[in-house]
């Protein structure tokens, strides 16, 4: 692509040679004359001065800080959000290619399954009775599509991903290795006759929307009844647990090692930080952000930024942490005051 084409793709402002050819994307420190790189912070100005990149993507404020370090002949494209723009450009310069083509001889496809002719099925993959696999889907090596499960168009199941019986994954999704869609929810009924627990049958399903990405070794449990639902555009990191009957709204982001307990309902555009925990049956308002390690023990009906365990408004949590930091010196000062002035009952 030429620099002018790149600028038009992201609605950017071009400074420099519009005909400069761009063949790839690379970090600032290793980019060559045919590469596009990006800059998002002024502290990297010295790296910019030493860079051999042919084209730079940055925002106006950062460029004001770094323009003095511009190498000779560098073409610059200014845009509002360089990281988003870089992702868009990268998709054009380096479109994904199927890692496996056609149907591997070792794939096991039930005769009653419906697999679109344009879908790719890798070695050792299993597609069970009544399953449906859409156009241009990629079922990776040793991936599994259970009985009557559905996988949408252009969806990718990386090696070892599992979509179990009766579950649905929409179009343009990505399931990373070891991801499990539709494992049993953790439903147990305590016995009235002793310490034993009786397993509650988990007969529902999981419904994953379109353009969803689910990270490696994350699990989305099937519902006890009905469905566990993951909304369109959600991005779920590695090692995330989503319990049975959870409803996750559209365009939510859930970061690694977080857990969402059964029947919790999260609105649209919620961000859940790493290692956060959400108890079952609570409701979280759309647009809410939970900082890392936030513990939600009751519903959050008002959108905002929350932190701490139990969850509280983020600024309140910051004030509490600042006070906690000061407790040790405050204790020493209090002890010194007590030594100077004995308690009233000790005064003669």
CB neighbours (10 Å) of residue 95?
7
Task: Find the length of the chain.
Answer: 348
Q: b or e along 44-64 (b: 16 or more beta carbons within 10 Å of the residue's beta carbon)?
A: bbeebeebbbbbbbbbeebbe
Is 244 a known active-site residue?
A: yes
Strand partners for 208: 169, 230
The 3-state DSSP class for residue 76 equals: strand
Of 44, 176, 210, 244, which one is the catalytic site residue? Answer: 244
Give the long-range contacts of residues 250-257, CB within 8 A, separation 24 or more: 250/209, 255/292, 256/215
Q: Hey, how many other C-beta atoms are within 10 angstroms of the C-beta on 114?
A: 14
What is the Cα–Cα distance from 127 to 149, expressed in whole angstroms? 9
Phi and psi torsions of 329, nearest 5°: -65, -35
Q: Which residues are known to be catalytic?
A: 244
């Amino acid at each position: 692509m030429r620099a002018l084409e790149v600028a038009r793709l992201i609605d950017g402002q071009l400074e420099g040679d519009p005909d400069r050819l761009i063949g790839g994307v690379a970090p600032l420190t290793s980019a060559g004359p045919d590469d596009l790189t990006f800059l998002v912070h002024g502290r990297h100005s010295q790296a910019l001065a030493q860079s051999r990149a042919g084209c730079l993507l940055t925002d106006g404020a950062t460029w004001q800080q770094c323009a003095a370090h511009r190498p000779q002949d560098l073409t610059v494209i200014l845009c509002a959000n360089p990281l988003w723009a870089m992702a868009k450009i990268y998709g054009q310069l380096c479109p994904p290619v199927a890692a496996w083509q056609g149907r591997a001889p070792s794939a096991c496809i039930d005769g009653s399954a419906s697999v679109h002719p344009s879908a790719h099925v890798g070695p050792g993959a299993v597609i069970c009775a009544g399953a449906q696999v859409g156009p241009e889907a990629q079922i990776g090596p040793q991936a599994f599509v259970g009985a009557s499960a559905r996988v949408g168009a252009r969806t990718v199941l990386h090696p070892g991903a599992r979509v179990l019986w009766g579950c649905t994954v929409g179009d343009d999704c990505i399931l990373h290795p070891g991801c499990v869609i539709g494992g049993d929810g953790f439903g147990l009924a305590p016995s009235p006759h002793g310490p034993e627990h009786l397993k509650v049958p988990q007969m529902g399903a999981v419904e994953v929307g379109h353009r969803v990405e689910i990270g490696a070794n994350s699990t989305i449990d099937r519902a006890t009844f009905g469905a566990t639902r993951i909304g369109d555009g959600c991005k779920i990191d590695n090692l995330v647990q989503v319990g049975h009957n959870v409803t996750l709204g559209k365009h939510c982001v859930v970061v690694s090692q977080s857990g969402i307990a059964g029947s919790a309902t999260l609105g649209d555009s919620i961000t859940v930080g790493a290692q956060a925990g959400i108890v079952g049956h609570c409701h979280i308002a759309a647009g809410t952000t939970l900082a890392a390690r936030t513990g939600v023990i009751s519903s959050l009906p008002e959108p905002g930024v929350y932190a701490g365990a139990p969850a509280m408004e983020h600024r309140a949590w910051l004030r509490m942490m600042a006070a906690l930091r000061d407790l040790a010196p405050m204790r020493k000062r209090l002890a010194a005051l007590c030594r100077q002035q004995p308690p009233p009952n000790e005064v003669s």
